[in-house]
């Protein structure tokens, strides 16, 4: 089979989530790196693929889709041998979807809120309001994880893959020390396929680029 293409970035949490999903289901990808600092995403060729100029983007033999959550769910529905990562059962799927929307719509957006001013160089700190927003998402995830190993169901799902890439990036801005369930879950996520070679590498790079811009 000709491998589907993934446009991705090394430190981009949603890109890592898609790559981990592909690894978990054994899907081999044709990886094309997009370097945001070189403005690859604003070049004409890329804008034709994704006018929203975000990574990741998946090109499945001519079918092009952006947004990690849309990509991951499509990928599992189309290519996975079973529905473990994204259950077909409506109620189980609804819970995974809720976590995915929280990961993308809340955690990742708050992460961007803290990150963008640093990247633009308009500040070298993270405002107390932004830190509070990030901490609020720790509280919520910590509560969901009460008495559970994984975020949705008895085994790991796309919810864990998406959330771990987002929240472990957030930890550069705010410590998780007060959230024991979150700490345990983050340790459990280190067992996920692709964690050491994809997530950990991306997280390290993300932490480096933020640390360089934060006031010492």
Ligand X SMILES: N[C@@H](CCC(=O)N[C@@H](CS)C(=O)NCC(=O)O)C(=O)O
Q: How far is the CB of 17 from ligand X (least distance, A)?
A: 8
- Which among 12, 66, 162, 168 is annotated as catalytic? 12
Q: How far is the CB of 14 from ligand X (least distance, A)?
A: 4
State the Cα angle at 69 between 119 and 129, rounded to 5°. 40
3-state DSSP call for residue 33?
strand
The candidate with the shortest Cα–Cα distance to 57, out of 76, 41, 38, is 41
How far is 6 from 86, CA to CA, in rounded Å? 20
Q: Which is nearer to ligand X, 105 or 180 (CB)?
A: 105
Q: Which is nearer to ligand X, 12 or 163 (CB)?
A: 12
Phi, psi of 86 (to 5 degrees): -150, 85
Residues contacting 28, CB < 8 A, separation 6+: 3, 22
Q: Does the active-site annotation cover 12? A: yes
Q: Which is nearer to ligand X, 158 or 182 (CB)?
A: 158
Kindly give the pairing relationship between strand 30-33 and strand 5-8.
parallel
Binding residues (CB under 6 A) for ligand X: these are 9, 12-14, 36, 41, 53-56, 67-69, 104
DSSP 6: E
Q: Which is nearer to ligand X, 101 or 124 (CB)?
A: 101
DSSP string, 36-69: GGGTGGGSHHHHHH-TT--S-EEEETTEEEESHH
Q: How far is the CB of 194 from ligand X (least distance, A)?
A: 17
Q: Which is nearer to ligand X, 69 or 174 (CB)?
A: 69
Q: How many CB atoms lie within 10 A of CB 120?
A: 9
Kindly give the pairing relationship between strand 63-66 and strand 57-60.
antiparallel
DSSP 193: T
Q: How far is the CB of 165 from ligand X (least distance, A)?
A: 10
Q: How far is the CB of 64 from ligand X (least distance, A)?
A: 13
Annotated active-site positions, please?
Answer: 12
């Amino acid at each position: 089979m000709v491998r589907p293409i993934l446009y991705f970035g090394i430190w981009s949490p949603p890109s890592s989530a898609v790559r981990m999903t592909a690894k978990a289901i054994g899907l081999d990808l044709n990886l094309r790196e997009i370097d945001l600092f070189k403005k690859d995403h604003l070049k004409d060729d890329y804008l034709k693929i994704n006018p929203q100029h975000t990574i990741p983007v998946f090109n499945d033999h001519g079918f092009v889709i952006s947004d990690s959550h849309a990509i991951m769910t499509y990928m599992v529905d189309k290519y996975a041998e079973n529905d473990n990562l994204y259950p077909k059962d409506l109620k189980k799927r609804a819970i995974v979807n809720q976590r995915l929307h929280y990961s993308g719509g809340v955690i990742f957006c708050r992460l961007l809120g803290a990150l963008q001013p640093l990247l633009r160089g308009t500040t070298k700190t993270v405002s107390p309001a932004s830190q509070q927003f990030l901490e609020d998402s720790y509280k919520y995830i910590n509560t969901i994880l009460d008495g559970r190993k994984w975020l949705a169901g008895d085994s790991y799902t796309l919810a864990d893959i998406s959330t771990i890439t987002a929240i472990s990036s957030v930890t550069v801005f705010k410590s998780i020390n007060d959230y024991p369930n979150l700490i345990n879950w983050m340790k459990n996520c280190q067992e996920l396929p692709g964690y050491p070679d994809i997530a950990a590498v991306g997280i390290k790079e993300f932490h480096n680029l933020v640390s360089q811009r934060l006031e010492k």
